[in-house]
Structure 1
Amino acid sequence: MQVISKQMAGETMESLDRTDREILALLQQEGRLSGAEVGRRVGLSQPAASARILRLEKSGVITGYRAVVDPVALGLNIHAVVRLRTTHAQLARALEVAAATPEVTSTVRVTGEDCLIFDVHCPQAGRLEEVVDSLARFGPVTTALVLRGYGTKPLTGAGPGA
């Protein structure tokens, strides 16, 4: 899931009211809901709900819609988290390799000892080894196999004072 920054195109999380946050939660769980159904669930008319959704899209809070696919259903039975510690000089090239590797499904740049964290889905251990080796050219890697994922929660901007 993409992380939404606190400020995108002039819209801040603080400017979102409870209804906006409810709409965001609904659409993150069920992105194919119609404006009429969103309105019904949050207590608005279809035109009012659709106008709010359009405003959230135009302001950059909603950045797109996508299908969520089960990797195991595609034969990608191995899920690993790979951490890379690299140098600033190697960072751009490591990001290019990760972007060109289909098994790398997400990349996050982090602070601390590691520089990058990759989510990797592979059909078998041999392919995971190849992916890890391709990333290890840029520095030490640590690989952890994922035993079970627990999903994600909707990002609504609700926090202290919300």
Structure 2
Amino acid sequence: MRNNLKKEECVLDGIDTKLIELLYANARTPVSELARTVGMTAPSVNERLKRLEESGVISGYRVEVNPKVLGYSLMAIVRMRQLPGKLKALEALIRSIPEFVECDKVTGEDCYVARLYLKNISELDPILDRVSELADTNTAIVKSTPVTRRLLV
């Protein structure tokens, strides 16, 4: 039998929101410091974090890597429209190219919008040549990022 239960939307209070903001800024913040900042005990903060994790609000703790420090000076956004019958092959190819760091399957004329990092512009054409066997592409080089990925709470 199919489960028709709808998962309820999680409602955050001010303390939950503050904890998420603190962890978003630094996921390695010790629980004792989080507790001091929000005016609670460490066990209480641990319980809140456990509840936020179990409800799916907090889905993980991540390290943020600066691509420029690793020599990746260029970021490009590639929009792709697959050739007939090539959707699954295109997705597999995108997954196999490590320079693609993010990809969304979208509606509209394009089927994928992806971000990739490059050490220099000469790396772009070989990647696009591989992709063009399966899709038409439209590429833009990112000049700056006025809004970085930000917190929703």
**Normalising by the residue count of structure 2, what TM-score does the alignment of the two structures yield?**
0.85
Q: Which runs of 5+ in 1 are unaligned?
A: 1-8, 157-162
Residue 153 (str. 1) matches residue 150 (str. 2):
yes
* Residues in 2 aligned to 1:19 and 1:134: alpha-carbon distance in whole angstroms: 49
Mapped to 2, the partners of 1:138 and 1:29 lie a distance apart of 40
The equivalent residue for 1:36 is 32
Cα offset for 1:59? Answer: 2.3
Cross-structure match for 1:62: 58
Report deviation, 1:37. 1.5
- The structure with higher relative contact order (CA 8 Å, sep 6+) is 1
Given that residues 79 and 145 in structure 1 are in contact (C-alpha distance below 8 angstroms), is that contact kept between their aligned partners in structure 2? yes
Uncovered stretches (5+) of structure 2, i.e. residues with no partner: 1-5
Question: What residue identity is the alignment partner of 1:77?
Answer: S
Point out the more displaced range, 88-97 or 28-37.
Answer: 88-97
RMSD: 1.9
- State how far apart, in whole Å, the 2-side matches of 1:41 and 1:88 are: 56
* Counterpart secondary structure, 1:117: strand
Runs of at least 4 residues off by over 6 Å = none
Q: Deviations over 1:61-114 (max 9, x none)?
A: 212112111111111111101111125732222121111111001011111111
TM-score by length of 1: 0.81
Change (3 A) 1:17 1:129: same
Percent of counterpart pairs with the same letter?
31
